[in-house]
Structure 1
Amino acid sequence: MAQTHEWMFYEVMWRGWAGRGQVPYPVPWWAQQAFRRWSDDFDTGTYESKEAAFASNALYRYWHMVGVKDHRQESLIGQAGEIEPVYDKYCLSFFLHDPATGTLRLPQLPDGGSVEQRMEAPHLPVVLTTFRTPEGVEFVQRTFATPVGARQRDLVVSRVSVSSPTGQPREGLLCAAVMPAGPSGFQRHDRNGRQVTDRRLTYLRHLPDEQRVETNSGWGPVFDTPPEQYGVYGNPDSSFDPDAYLAHSPFHDLVTGGKLNGALDAQDQVAGLCSAVFAWPFRVTADEVFELDVRLPVDLYAGADDLAELKGTPATELESANRDFWAAKLLGQGLQPQLPSPVTHLTDLFRQSRSQLLILSDHGEIHPGPTVYDSFWIRDSSVEATACSLVGDSALAEHQLGTHYPLRFNRGDGRIGPCAEYGFYGGPHEKDDREWDSNGQALWAIGRFDRTTGRQAAFGAKLYVPYVRDAARWLRDNRDGHGLLHSGWSAEHLGERDKPHYWDDLWGLAGLYEAARLAERIDAPEVPEFWAAFDDLKRATGDSIRWVLAEQRARGAWETYIPTGPADVGRLDSTMIGTAAYFHPLRLHMGSKLGEEVDRAARLTLDTMYAHFVTGGFRHEAAWNAYGPYLTLQLAHAYLLAGDPARMDALLGWTVGAGFPRTADRVAALGAWNEQHAFPIASDFAEVPYRPWYMGDIPHGWAAAEYLLLIRDILFFEADEDRDPHLYIAPGIRPHWVPANEQVAVKAAPTLFGDPFGYRLAHDPAGRTVTVDITEAPDGVRFVYPCRFGRVRAASADGRELEVTGQDVRVPAGTERFTVSYE
């Protein structure tokens, strides 16, 4: 049964949307999508009522994000420019009013005018929202987050400028609305009670002397310029009639009377739907612009001194400092990919993904999302930290792996289900859901980072005892009677939690491999012990997979595929995506670590998945009933490493498009991915599932990390680091990416060999030649260039002819320039 506030919120939104031809009401984009194709079916396993599901925005979790690197709280930006500080209980938005006619222009509504949104620049987390009314008035809203004052506390600044694009005189009111519901929803209240985001506004107050708003017990917006009009609205009669909220509202008063109620405070103990509007008169003509700056204190502020510090720095200085910081960080530091004009958007998205991971880092912990995933997982963070280290954000990776991983290392002597507590990496997520992949992930990430930072840094040696040694022993000692990891729910995309999943075993193998190699690098005595544990898990995993393949053949299966686990023989559904990890990120195919039969089956599993579950992107109907952006990137990466760049390119192209979905007249996201991309949004409602779907967070840190890793490996990747170290140069560069007189280039790229790498590739289509200049490279590392432009005819390195034996041109270590001719 719906709680009162959930029912009331649903009714107010529905009636406000359905009666929008009378008094306009700012119904958020996500609510409009729900009403656009309403269904009474909802996820009854999570929510008690349709109103609870609606109030928590269970279906359309799309928005934009701004934030400060390494600070705790992010702020979300809605499709009409609404600003929602994640942990504060209000949302701020802007609109226009003409007192002469009573016309109200809300950017949330299609008939209010046109809305355009973009990021100011790919490396700048600044959201620009431009709103144009039919009367020829325009406002541009620039929203960014920045630290302020001596204590560098977090602040969001929204700078709004009103103008007349035609130059004709225009006047009216610029209005700012403070409302409870924002881009993420109203209140997330599920059956478990574990994920609660309560945005109810039960008390709202305007403090004119301080030029700020008080929301419940917290601070709301602070205005640089005091408003000329204001009004605060609540539910003074404790009415249970939804229409009372629409009739007693600032929007109704502006339309019917042309002014606000002038109240300073209000409360609503029924539904928590207090609201307020503040208004500034403007008159613009020719080149005149009216400007307003509003500050949102999203850190901890209290008292007059904090208010003075919050307001002390002019907004222009804050904006300039924010621009300088991100330009220095993303344009001047770390891996700098240069891609030709047909695919420069890939470089732009690369920089944007870097900024998202830096913003999602909370004091060194990278969290997978800003709202329901604003927490620390070993699984997600292992990929995120590795991505950061390989694109140049090594300080963040070191802080995460060196400080926060040891804090998740369990030292107790109890039990977690069938497994020992001591030696297990994990907090509440991993322990409650039996996420047995986490030890392999932690060891893998620590080992890869130790390679990247080099012997001199001795990162792995500092963590070896107990964090590597005892975590590896946990993998050795905590397996089932078949030698596999126990049943659990390591990743929700794999299937049921009461079954074992090969995903866990593949990660365990990768973790033990890195632990053994790290032990070799530091001459630890456990080298034979770790290799024995690796071999034992390798035997058990290989035997199990071969048994499953034989069982499926015996049952008449004509397609070869490795299902999600040994308890799922014959299960041909999208949970088999876990096998993609065999290639990426684990590289178990290099050297066929599980044997040729398993290696061949893993390659065929990619093709089976592509045939059944790819429609542009990877469709994960078995668990999510939605597209999986980060799973699509994993599959693309697996195809890159398996030697099929054409399918990699197709999957990458879909994923890039999924980062900018559009419905009707709105762009739902600006270069970011949810964990799940809803079929209705992906198809502009041409496809609406018959059953509920799951919707995670956005931006999704794991997806951003996958994109960084894929673009980096398209440019180059390492192989056989321990025996015959070599680099593949431009393995994913497609012929149509490189027109004549354009280059592919990499600068200052960290590598698993501990030293940076860089190169320039030029393509001469007329001469049918490719020339590569190596600008920096690790010592003793040879190169492989898999030519994608045509059949290799000849090759030379520093003027010396090379033997040609196929498409992979082998280039000696130390080469400064090589040239390849093709037919």
Structure 2
Amino acid sequence: MNHDPNIDFRFAPPSSWTCIGFADDQHKSLVREDGALLYDYQRIVTHQFNRILSFRLLGSGEPQTITQVTETAKRPIVITTLTYSHAILQLRAFAYQQNDQRSDIVQWSISQNPNQITPHQVALHLNALQNQGQWQAVDTSDHHLSSFSHIQFSPNTDHPTQPQKDRPVIIQHQSVFSIEQPLHHHPTRTFGPGFGCITEPIALSPDHTLHGSIIITLDHHDAPFHKLADIDHALDSMRQHWDHANFQTRTLQVPDPQINDMLRACARNIFQAREIKDGSPEFQVGPTCYRGLWMVDGHFMLEAARYLGHDQEADRGIDAMLKRVHDDGSITDIPEHTKETGIALATLVRQTELSGNWDRLKKLWPTVIKARHYIQSLRDQARQLDPSAPEFSLLPRSFPDGGINGLRAEYTTALWIMIGLKEAARAAAHLGNHQDADTFQADFQGLLEDFRRCAARDMQHLDNGIPYLPQSMPNSSSEHHWNENQTDRVSINHRIGPLTGTWALCQSIFPGEIFDQDDSIVQNLLRLFEHKDQEQGIPIETGWLPYQALWPYYASFAAHVWLYASQGEKAAQYLYAFANHAAPTRIWREEQSLASSDLDLCWGDMPHNWASAEFIRLVRNLLIFERGNQLELMPGIPSTWLIPNQPIIVENSPTRFGPISITAKLDHANTWHVQAEIDSNWPLQPDTITLHIPSKMNRVIVNNQLAKPDLRTLALNKSMTLQPSSS
């Protein structure tokens, strides 16, 4: 697939849910791709919203087109435009807070389609669908011709609903008010259960636009406004609120305004999903089925939070993680997800590196040692298995995740536990705990040896000869991605593929650095990426939808492998392809069907904020990349970012070597000016600092020193090696 450095959302998922709530808001109000408002999420077998308010023109058939955007990247004020043959309905949805009362507001307008010549009767048709309760008009008689402006929801008191993990807030009291446009009873669009109503039909002339507003109250019945002019003022105040909200306190800026807008939206998305739990804000993956913080998602979300400048929030994230410490030494949220203990060790070390707070890790060291004992108990269990078991001497069966369900003999757990052991060994050495460092290193080496032995046995090949390592050990369980015990033939729609579940393999390469970049495991994976990235620019068939589908933010996992393999240009291409799988409101679904499949299969939450965190991480790592004890600057900048007088700016970005600041700008004489700063007093210092120089530069000036053709190093606390960039 040809690389196009333009973000036009060409692979946006057909269905989307955009959050309009505030930061730390308990009400995760969502706007569907057609402008409907979604409330009271509940996952029974699949996704379900127990209350939906949708808007359309009365009659009129289906819209010819529907478009949806946010006002700006900073403002989650959602504009949905539904174009019919004769008229255009525009919906503008936003959240509003007055004291402790939350409401959602939808401003609507109906104008004549420019292609329509004669006046046409129009009316707004509101459909209120519900489960476990009832909508009813309040200020009206029972006569079907009477008008009203207030609809109220009454919950089902016979069978009250109880909060759940992904449904912690249940709206018991909810009202809908129509401002300055009386409503009349009308059947729902499908004549099915629910409450339907319309505005008074009028003949719309070309020079006339019909306006109104709908207010939806959340857990109260008081309308904050009764005039359209007041709602206009409320909208302006919310615009100011979002424009002044500072979710990105450390500058991360590139010469592409589309990328910068994606960064702004990603930062906002993360804080909209966050929630106050037990008195402290806790980052969450999403607003519906992933309304919580999982261990692996948290590892990368906390890293992204520090890149954005939210150090205290990241520290609180560690506190939340430590609530998952158990008496046996494990650190897990999902008991069968035994790899989480390795993830937790890696998270503790990474957050310590970025914060520089080694004293905290020293106090937590007994927790680290107990985690090692737990890992050793897993290893002992594996050694006691029947030698014919595929997982013998590696690790007991566990939940692979990332596209593979069940308890299986698999590799994802070993990969993340190796990362945790390796990072703990490095941290122990820094703390001066040399005996612990040797012990952790020996544990890591032993597990790596057993991993390589099993991997050599299980290596498979595609028909074209590309080798790959199945993440579920061959012949140890069913090929069905969900049911490990299925004995029937598995259809291709459910069959584990060559890239299924390779999320942990990617992360073992980077940030884990378990394997050298020239290792066959790395190189074979890159060949597999290239084989699978032709259709939509990123590898497909990697997750829970194993056929004709993709996991959009897997693009970042794979891009980091390319970056680790010194292929920065390819990593930058994945960044743009990743962005083009977002909805135009700059949010991602966890997984979606390929555009060519004509399906609308979807999996997981939306907005999915591990995706938001990964986009932030990838942009930052294209500019600053930590490779062991080496620091690389600008390893993955695309040529399209080399625009005269359009700077790249990274401000105090935390690394294991301390905060790094860079400003790089090309002038009209084709001279590249780079200013780089590093804290020479930070406990860890890089052995080398490598600046990747774009090709065809007339001159390069680093920290006001001219890099002459025969000059290969410049002093910047340590040596700075100047070398051509792969891009």
Alignment TM-score > 0.5, same fold? yes
2:411 alignment counterpart: 502
Amino acid across the alignment from 1:326? W
AA in 1 matched with 2:648: V
Within-5 A mapping of 1:642-657: 642-657=565-580
Q: Distance in 2 between matches of 1:545 and 1:572?
A: 21
1:61-72 matches, within 5 Å, as 62-72=16-26
1:213 aligns with 2:142: no
Q: Distance in 1 between matches of 2:283 and 2:238?
A: 21
Return the offset for 1:287: 7.7
| CA-to-aligned-CA distance 1:113-142 (integer Å, 9 cap, x gap) | x4322111112212111234433x444322
Structure 2: distance between partners of 1:277 and 1:143: 19
Aligned counterparts of 1:311 and 1:445: Cα–Cα separation in 2: 51
- 2:551 is the counterpart of 1:602: no
Match of 1:485 in 2: 395
1:761 pairs with 2:661: no
Residue in 1 that maps onto 2:283: 366
2:620 is the alignment partner of 1:712: yes
* Separation (CA, whole Å) in 1 of partners of 2:372 and 2:555: 30
Structure 1 274/139 Cα, relative in aligned 2: closer, same or farther at 3 Å?
closer
Partner of 1:666: none
Task: Give, in angstroms, the shift of residue 371 of structure 1.
Answer: 2.2
Deviation at 1:500, TM superposition (A): 3.1
Q: Aligned partners of 1:648 and 1:568: how far apart in 2?
A: 34
| Structure 2 CA distance for aligned equivalents of residues 350 and 749 of structure 1 | 15
Displacement after TM superposition at 1:629 (Å):
0.9
Q: Does 1:117 align with 2:68?
A: yes
Match of 1:345 in 2: 258
Aligned to 1:93: 54
Q: How does 1:298-309 map to 2 (within 5 A)?
A: 298=218, 300-301=219-220, 307=222
Q: Aligned partners of 1:614 and 1:582: how far apart in 2?
A: 24
2:448 to 515, 528, 541: 541
Q: Following TM superposition, by how much is the alpha carbon of 1:226 offset from its aligned partner in structure 2, in angstroms?
A: 5.6
Distance 1:155 1:471 in 2: 46
Query: Distance in 2 between the 1:125 and 1:375 partners?
Result: 21
Q: How does 1:560-571 map to 2 (within 5 A)?
A: 560-564=467-471, 567=474
Aligned counterparts of 1:551 and 1:173: Cα–Cα separation in 2: 65
Contact 1:796-1:818 within 8 A present in 2 as well: no
Bigger mean CA deviation after superposition, 635-644 or 610-619: 610-619
Q: C-alpha separation between the residues in 2 aligned to 1:775 and 1:168?
A: 64
- What is residue 79 of structure 2 aligned with on the other side? 128
8 Å contact 2:137–2:150 — kept in the other structure?
yes
Q: Distance in 1 between matches of 2:292 and 2:75?
A: 25
* 2:574 is the alignment partner of 1:674: no
Alignment of 1:751 with 2:671, yes or no, is no
The question of 1:515 aligning with 2:424 is answered: yes
SS at match of 2:222: helix
Which secondary structure does the structure 2 equivalent of 1:783 belong to? strand
Distance 2:54 2:31 in 1: 10
Shift of 1:749: 2.8
**Residue type of the alignment partner of 2:304:** A
Change (3 A) 1:804 1:483: farther
Task: Report if the CA contact (8 A) 2:662-2:674 is conserved.
Answer: yes
What SS does the aligned partner of 1:752 have? coil
SS in 1 for 2:71: strand
Q: Contact 1:675–1:695 at 8 Å: present in 2 too?
A: yes
* 1:79 counterpart = 2:29: no
Q: Distance in 1 between matches of 2:113 and 2:353?
A: 56
Q: In 2, are the aligned partners of 1:63 and 1:79 still within 8 Å (CA)?
A: yes
* Counterpart in the other structure of 1:455: 357
Counterpart residue identity of residue 460, structure 1: L
User: How much does 1:499 deviate?
Assistant: 2.6
For the residue of structure 2 that corresponds to 1:121, the secondary structure is: coil
Is 1:638 paired with 2:638? no
Establish whether residue 409 from structure 1 lines up as the match of residue 301 from structure 2: no
Match of 2:126 in 1: 177
Pairing 1:252-267 to 2, within 5 Å after superposition = none
Residues in 2 aligned to 1:553 and 1:131: alpha-carbon distance in whole angstroms? 50
Distance 1:224 1:547, change over 3 A: closer
Alignment-derived partner of residue 541 in structure 2: 620
TM-score, with structure 1 as normaliser: 0.69
CA deviation after TM superposition for structure 1 residue 283, in Å = 8.0
8 Å contact from structure 1 (residues 658, 677) kept in 2: no
Contact 1:132–1:139 (CA<8 Å) still a contact in 2?
yes
1:627 positional shift: 1.0
Distance change >3 Å, CA 516–CA 223, structure 1 → 2: same
Offset at 1:818? 11
**Are 2:98 and 1:148 equivalent residues in the alignment?**
yes
Q: In the TM superposition, what whole-angstrom CA distance separates every residue of 1:515-567 from its partner, at most 9, and x where no partner exists?
A: 344445555x5x52354134223322234324533664999995444432555
**Counterpart-to-counterpart distance in 2, 1:322 and 1:656:** 27
- 2:502 equivalent to 1:577: yes
- Under a length normalisation based on structure 2, what TM-score does the superposition of the two structures give? 0.77
Deviates more, 1:383-392 or 1:138-147: 138-147
State whether structure 2 residue 120 is matched by structure 1 residue 200.
no
Say if 1:92 and 1:176, in contact at 8 Å, map to a contact too.
no
Task: Confirm or deny: 8 A CA contact 1:141 1:158 kept in the other structure.
Answer: yes
Corresponding letter in the other structure for 1:715: L
Q: CA 1:816–1:562 in structure 2 vs 1: closer, same or farther (change >3 Å)? A: closer
Partner of 1:350, secondary structure, is: helix
Shift of 1:474: 1.9
Amino acid at match of 1:365: E
Alpha carbons of structure 1 residues 274 and 446: separation in structure 2 relative to 1, 3 Å: same
- TM-fit CA distance, 1:793: 8.9
> 1:454, 1:280 → 2: CA distance?
64
Query: Could you say what secondary structure the match of 2:330 adopts?
Result: coil
1:386 correspondence with 2:303:
yes
- For the 8 Å contact 1:774–1:816, the answer to whether it is kept is no
Check the 8 A contact 1:795/1:804 in 2, yes or no. no
Q: 1:567 to 1:133 in 2, by over 3 A?
A: closer
Please identify which structure carries the higher helix content. Answer: 1
| Match in the other structure for 1:335 | 250
Cα distance between partner residues in 1 of 2:190 and 2:420: 62
- State the distance in 2 between where 1:558 and 1:472 align: 39
- Report if aligned partners of 1:119, 1:670 keep a CA contact under 8 Å in 2: yes
Code of the residue aligned with 2:398 in structure 1: it is G
The answer on whether the counterparts of 2:670 and 2:699 sit within 8 Å (CA) in structure 1 is: no
Mapped to 1, the partners of 2:539 and 2:607 lie a distance apart of 18
1:648 alignment partner, SS class: helix
Residue type of the alignment partner of 2:558: L
Aligned to 1:159: 107
SS in 2 for 1:478: helix
Change (3 A) 1:465 1:93: same
Deviation at 1:710, TM superposition (A): 0.6
Q: 1:506 to 1:276 in 2, by over 3 A?
A: same
After superposition, the C-alpha distances for 1:601-639 in whole angstroms (9 at most, x for unaligned) are 323322234225653221117852211212222111210
Work out whether residues 617 and 655 of structure 1, in 8 Å CA contact, stay in contact via their aligned partners in 2.
yes
Distance 1:566 1:802 in 2: 54
1:373 is paired with a residue whose SS is: coil
- RMSD of Structure 2 on Structure 1 (CA): 4.1
Given the alignment, which residue of 686, 693, 702 partners 1:787? 693
Gaps of 5+ in 1: 1-58, 98-103, 181-198, 233-248, 254-270, 412-421, 661-668
Letter in 1 for 2:127: V
- The structure-2 alpha-carbon separation of the partners of 1:694 and 1:335, relative to structure 1 and needing over 3 Å to count, comes to same
Gaps of 5+ in 2: 1-12, 42-48, 141-147, 156-171, 384-391, 480-495
